[in-house]
Amino acid sequence: DARVTQTPRHKVTEMGQEVTMRCQPILGHNTVFWYRQTMMQGLELLAYFRNRAPLDDSGMPKDRFSAEMPDATLATLKIQPSEPRDSAVYFCASGLVIGGTDTQYFGPGTRLTVL
């Protein structure tokens, strides 16, 4: 049963520290998405990739967030420096484009707490 995996599942850090979240998309999928979920804002798209190329990162605070796909099996989301307002659950999702569309499959999320 293929799944999207994310590490770590939980992260507690202090303001100003660097945070790196990792995602392993489902093997063979060619789109990868990063979302953030909070009670106040709901589910927000931060960035996404197709065939490892960044297509849209307009939802991401550029001064502190960065998203990369160093290879087809790994996507990373970094926050430097982290702030308390970054506390949220971060989800990665992957999909395979077939017939012009894909279905996104979500990982279990990384729950980030910035103190």
Partner 1 sequence: AQSVAQPEDQVKVAEGNPLTVKCTYSVSGNPYLFWYVQYPNRGLQFLLKYITGDNLVKGSYGFEAEFNKSQTSFHLKKPSALVSDSALYFCAVRAPRSNDYKLSFGAGTTVTVRA
Whose Cβ is closer to partner 1: residue 15's or residue 43's? Answer: 43
Stretch that binds partner 1, among 15-23, 41-49, 61-69, 75-83 (CB under 8 A): 41-49
Whose Cβ is closer to partner 1: residue 81's or residue 108's? Answer: 108
Phi, psi of 72 (to 5 degrees): -70, -15
CB 63 within 8 A of CB 9: no
Q: Enumerate residues 6+ apart whose C-beta is below 8 A from 34.
A: 23, 45, 46, 47, 48, 60, 67, 75, 77, 90, 91, 92
x/- site string to partner 1, residues 43 to 62, per CB under 8 A? x-x--x-x----xx------
CB 113 within 8 A of CB 13: yes
The residue with tokens 């992957």 is 94
Q: Residue 99, interface with partner 1 (CB under 8 A)?
A: yes
Pick the binder of partner 1 from 94, 107, 112, 114 (CB under 8 A).
107
82: tokens are 């982290």
Q: Residue 2, interface with partner 1 (CB under 8 A)?
A: no
Whose Cβ is closer to partner 1: residue 54's or residue 81's? Answer: 54
Residues binding partner 1 (CB under 8 A): 4, 31, 33, 42-43, 45, 48, 50, 55-56, 91, 93, 95, 97, 99-109
